[in-house]
Amino acid sequence: MSKTVCTSQCFQAIKHEGTPAGSIETINGIPTYVTGDSTSSKYLIIFTDIFGLSINNTLLVADHFAKEGYYVLAPDIIENDPADPTKIADAEYITNYFTKHSPVHVWSLINKWLDGLPSEVASSKSWFSTGYCFGSIFAVQFAGAEQTKFNIKATSICHPAKLPDSLIASLNKPLLISIGDIDAAWPLEDLFKLIESLKTQEKTYQLNLFRGLDHGYAVRGDLTVPFVKYGADKTVADQLAWFANFS
């Protein structure tokens, strides 16, 4: 992953208050945040940002989905190595971090995790995925043409990292994109190129573009700011509606 994929906004986080309702379980050798009822017909995988499971923010979002009837699994895709926000201006640190946690390496971990899940659960449940920032790469990859074990219905991504053209080409499930219009990772020119690519390739997609919100708003934003809270809440509501439409 090049340095251009991760901007300084990726390293900014305001911790949200609350006590997660789920638990950390080891699944196929990987610590995984689990919340909700495992007898549910709807399973959701959350692919986290570079803070992983180290802060409550994404865990609290997972609990929200669980309250809506989803069994939620969030594997630790960064191997208990959350990014250090004090290194926001350290180019060498950023380069080394994303060399260590390259998309190829992370996907190999995820594949190991996925391969260990029971085939009967993979095929009998309705599966959904969502990804935040860095995790968006893997939410899209999970919804790609190569994934045949799982009964995948739809995916969503929020303020994503840069998405390789090959991932868009392989995508064969409906994609919801939620993003702010001042996201440093996605100048509007690049975002509209992505949309044109999705359109040209006849992918099923929806774009939710929020005025004045920046990278990370959905899970790391300042919820004391009314429109940031609105954007975060609206994003979850839109994800639920998107998934319900393709259930």
User: How far is Cα 111 from Cα 226, in angstroms, rounded to an integer?
Assistant: 39
Question: Is 34 in contact with 73 (CB distance < 8 Å)?
Answer: yes
pLDDT in tens, 37-53: 999 999 999 999 999 99
Q: What is this structure's pTM? A: 0.94
Tell me the per-residue pLDDT of 65-90, one tens digit each, with 9 for 90 and over: 999 999 999 999 999 999 998 888 88
- What CATH homologous superfamily does 3-245 map to? Alpha/Beta hydrolase fold, catalytic domain (3.40.50.1820)
- How many of the other CB atoms lie within 10 Å of CB of 202? 7
Beta sheet of 23-27, edge-to-edge order: 23-27, 30-35, 71-75, 42-47, 126-132, 152-158, 175-180, 205-210
Residue pointed to by tokens 């919340």: 35
pLDDT tens-place string over residues 181-200: 999 889 999 999 999 999 99
Show me where the domains of the chain are located: 3-245
Q: 175 exposed, middle or buried (CB, 10 Å; 0-12, 13-18, 19+)?
A: buried
- Low-confidence stretches of the chain (pLDDT < 70) are 1-16
